[in-house]
Structure 1
Amino acid sequence: MRMLNQEEEVDAEVTWEDQQRINSFSKLNAKYSDLETTYESKKQEKGFLDDLTEELELADEDELIKYKIGEAFINISVEQAQQRIEKDKEILIQELEQLQHEMNDLNGQMSQLKVHLYGKFGKAINLEKD
């Protein structure tokens, strides 16, 4: 945290509309942060599934694999496990695309608010992530 220089100070009144824009930006930023965390988690999960796919390629085709569904493990063939993993990866890819779309939408909304708020308050307001 730092003090503003004399040149950076802005003599602008914060109107009710300005406060609403600041609040909207804050809400959008919090939602973006949550989506970003979820996105990274899903991306890591997809990486784990990719690694698992590679491991299953080395497995014996006649071998039964313990596959977790919910809280239980079932024995399935390597081929069935590969099919289920591919299906899970497709679902994850769709979820990642949806999250990316939502994050882009939020970024656009935040950019519009930034333009207005920085235009009025200049350096007296900080809307950037640390």
Structure 2
Amino acid sequence: MKPDQKSAKNTATAEDQQQINRFARLHKAYSAAKEKLVSLDNDVNNLNDASDEILLMDDEAAADSIPFLVGSVFVHFDQDTVNGRLELLKVSTQAEMDELRSKVGTMERELGELRAVLYAKFGDNIHLETEEDEESGDATRRNGR
């Protein structure tokens, strides 16, 4: 192949640039969603810990006046009310996590498709992997290197 043919093949068209931009926007959203999932998982763990602590309360007087954060104020509730509120929070957080996991899966598929298309066109002239991908070995599996 002549050098001018090789450079012509690797010239980015407007469509290529749109795909690269789509990949960048999608990757940013994907990273934010993954961080949110970690945060929500921590929230669920904290809610479970709070439920466990309430169950372990021995003092009946303390169990009738448990502080619960509502907005920026602590309101005192009895043990059953707090357990009910914690359970509602866990259910809503789990539902949010399930929805986010579904979105993350969709984003992963689209990112994989865009990677394949862009690596097929640009080969080593484009770098679409993050440090996380490279550390985990995902980059090698995704682009076949």
TM category (shorter chain) comes to: 0.7 to 0.9
- Structure 2 residue aligned with 1:120: 121
**What amino acid maps onto 2:22 in structure 1?**
S
1:25–1:113 contact (8 Å) kept in structure 2: yes
Identity of aligned residues (%): 29
Does residue 38 (structure 1) correspond to residue 39 (structure 2)? The answer is no
- Structure 1 residue aligned with 2:135: none
Higher relative contact order (CA 8 A, sep 6+): 1
- Structure 1 residue aligned with 2:100: 99
- Structure 1 residue aligned with 2:75: 74
Normalised to the residue count of structure 2, the TM-score between the two structures is 0.78
Aligned length: 121
Normalised to the residue count of structure 1, the TM-score between the two structures is 0.87
Task: Look up the SS of the partner of 1:94 in the other structure.
Answer: helix
**Alignment partners' CA distance in 2, 1:82 and 1:59:** 12
Structure with greater helix share of residues: 2
Query: Could you list the per-position Cα deviations for residues 101-122 of structure 1 after superposition, in whole angstroms to 9, with x for gaps in the alignment?
Result: 1111111111111111011111
**What amino acid maps onto 2:19 in structure 1?**
R
Q: CA deviation at 1:74?
A: 1.5
**Alignment partners' CA distance in 1, 2:27 and 2:87:** 34
Matches within 5 A, 1:17-36: 17-36=15-34
Q: Which runs of 4+ in 1 moved over 3 A?
A: none
**Alignment gaps of 5+ in structure 1:** 1-9
Task: Look up the SS of the partner of 2:75 in the other structure.
Answer: strand
**What amino acid maps onto 2:75 in structure 1?**
I
- Structure 2 residue aligned with 1:7: none
Mean CA deviation greater in 61-70 or 45-54: 61-70
**Alignment partners' CA distance in 1, 2:50 and 2:129:** 38
Query: Could you list the per-position Cα deviations for residues 69-117 of structure 1 after superposition, in whole angstroms to 9, with x for gaps in the alignment?
Result: 1122221111111111011000000011111111111111111111110
**Alignment gaps of 5+ in structure 2:** 1-5, 132-145
